[in-house]
Amino acid sequence: EAMTAVSGTRDDVLAVLDRLGVDRAVLAGGDIVARSPIDGGEAGRVTTLSAADVDALVRKAHAAQLAWRVVPAPRRGELVRLLGEELRAVRTDLGLLVTLEAGKILSEGLGEVQEMIDICDFAVGLSRQLYGLTIATERPGHRLMETWHPLGVCGVISAFNFPVAVWSWNAALALVCGNSVIWKPSEKTPLTAIAVQAAFERAAAKFGSAPDGLSILAQGHADVGQALVDHPLVPLVSATGSTRMGRAVAPRLAARFARAILELGGNNAAIVAPSADLELAVRGIAFAAMGTAGQRCTTLRRLIVHEAVADRLLDRLAAAYRSVKVGDPREAGTLVGPLIDKASYDGMVKALAAAKAAGGTVIGGDRVDVGSGDAYYVRPALVVMPDQAGPMLEETFAPILYVVRYRDLDQAIALQNGVPQGLASSIFTTDMREAETFMSPAGSDCGIANVNLGPSGAEIGGAFGGEKETGGGREAGSDSWKAYMRRATNTINYSRSLPLAQGVQFDI
């Protein structure tokens, strides 16, 4: 497959940075390369911090937090409301920059910024709802209640694939909860981070009285992330990335009793039952498996299909895989953009070879020539496996959908749960018993379990995250905010006597 040469990202990046109010001088030099996976072109280099710089920044963020924690929460919400306004104003351009830097198609780039706006709105509402309980006390003349207090400096380590939304899930909540934020973005997406920081600074300027250092961008390599993870003034680190990264981060946080919100690998499955609406299933599977070129942590990677419908479904899927438009994500009609880099492509090649060695039949998966050797486009791969084994048990961050057949639902659920990761899952069925069983305690073991849609594309209103090797963290909606606060239990004695709990007598 050859297509017209893809190029011109450097000019696009410079133009969009101008519109986003980011000085082109940020590209003047440094040791992080700002490049676009669309053509592999470099826009310039960005300066980074070293681990030794982190201490001063954490101290600055800490000082900011001490001032911020006593600002009333609804007032803190006002800053996040202004951030949401800034994001609305730059939605199109920031979305385009996500496309340029992460390679997402335009509607997904925009969707990511929309997700930022949504979480800001959610957090503004929350800023008046950081409720603690009042609890029935066993003692007369007493009141028992809980109060939620700000926690401190929150570290955020994010990945290339959601270069802006993940920061916002954490930052919007952390800020209304009375915390400051230090963000170490992926080295692969430095420019989107700079643009987001600029939007935050405009919001802070409009707010007027935000302490300096409330949100700090710390670009750098793994040593900068590690310095954040090890800093005693950082009580919480929210880290998104591979399970390998999580294994490095979690023990270090545990060693100093800091909190971790870990959003690690997913190996997400969909079950297609005999009663499924196949038309709808094909569309749901196509978006979940091929969208974002298979580079979401929620991407559908395993399809578990009932043998009665497997042939029909596979025929339709194979047609979709053959026809889906792969190419420049800036172009209308493109559904699959580039992989982020060569390492990602190499990982896909390796996984497909392993799948073949394990008896898999591969449809698609070839590299697509775009006239630039430094860009890595692939036709998504559909791999029919004899059983769930080999590379199917791992997360390969590329568009590979493995397919296995099943006979009965218990077997399908066992397959769904039979991998080390536990992020997202789904079932396509119109049988109420099957759907409910899938969502029951004996069903999917994931943090996300959907019915009649794929595992990806979560809204911000729900808690986002997963179990097992996915790390157990929850971000965004529901009561995820509680992770960014500390809970104080308060007992107040308004009587003139001192009744002890559990009826203990201690008369002196």
Q: Which residue has the tokens 């990202």?
A: 9
Q: Does residue 294 contact residue 400 with C-beta atoms inside 8 Å? A: yes
Q: In b/e form, how buried is each residue of 41-67, taking b as 16+ CB within 10 angstroms?
A: bebbbbebbebeebeebbebbbbbbee
297 binds ligand UN1 (CB under 6 A): yes
CA distances from 368 to 133, 147, 299, 317 (A): 57, 56, 21, 19
C-beta neighbour count of 322 within 10 angstroms: 12
240 binds ligand UN1 (CB under 6 A): yes
Distance CA 151, CA 482 (A): 10
Smallest separation, CB 246 to ligand UN1 (Å): 13
239 binds ligand UN1 (CB under 6 A): no
162 binds ligand UN1 (CB under 6 A): yes
Here the tokens at position 173 are 């909540």
Q: Is the dihedral of CA 417, 421, 427, 433 positive or negative?
A: positive
Distance CA 368, CA 366 (A): 6
Measured from the CB atom, the residue of 152 and 472 that comes closer to ligand UN1 is: 472
Candidate residues 48, 127, 161, 215; the one interacting with ligand UN1 per rule CB under 6 A: 161
Measured from the CB atom, the residue of 158 and 219 that comes closer to ligand UN1 is: 158
Mask: binding to ligand UN1, 415-454, rule CB under 6 A, as x and -?
Answer: ----------------------------------------
Smallest separation, CB 480 to ligand UN1 (Å): 13
Number of residues that bind ligand UN1 (CB under 6 A): 9
Choose one: 201-209, 252-260, 269-277, 291-299; the region binding ligand UN1 (CB under 6 A).
291-299
456 binds ligand UN1 (CB under 6 A): yes
Respond yes or no: is residue 297 known to be catalytic: yes
Distance CA 196, CA 22 (A): 10
- Residue of 78, 101, 263, 434 with catalytic role: 263
Q: Which residue has the tokens 């989107």?
A: 192
Measured from the CB atom, the residue of 265 and 327 that comes closer to ligand UN1 is: 265
Candidate residues 168, 186, 192, 298; the one interacting with ligand UN1 per rule CB under 6 A: 298
The alpha carbon of residue 133 and the mean position of all alpha carbons in its chain are separated, in whole angstroms, by 30
268 binds ligand UN1 (CB under 6 A): no
Measured from the CB atom, the residue of 301 and 306 that comes closer to ligand UN1 is: 301
Q: Does residue 216 contact residue 181 with C-beta atoms inside 8 Å? A: yes
Tally of helices (H runs) and strands (E runs) in the chain = 14, 23
458 binds ligand UN1 (CB under 6 A): yes
Respond yes or no: is residue 177 known to be catalytic: no
The alpha carbon of residue 96 and the mean position of all alpha carbons in its chain are separated, in whole angstroms, by 19
- Residue of 108, 297, 395, 475 with catalytic role: 297
3 state SS of 327: coil
CA distances from 235 to 218, 243, 252 (A): 17, 21, 12
Choose one: 38-46, 82-90, 139-147, 292-300; the region binding ligand UN1 (CB under 6 A).
292-300
Smallest separation, CB 380 to ligand UN1 (Å): 16
Smallest separation, CB 288 to ligand UN1 (Å): 8
3 state SS of 425: strand
462 binds ligand UN1 (CB under 6 A): no
Residues annotated as part of the active site = 263, 297
Q: Contact positions toward ligand UN1, by CB under 6 A?
A: 161-162, 240, 296-298, 456-458
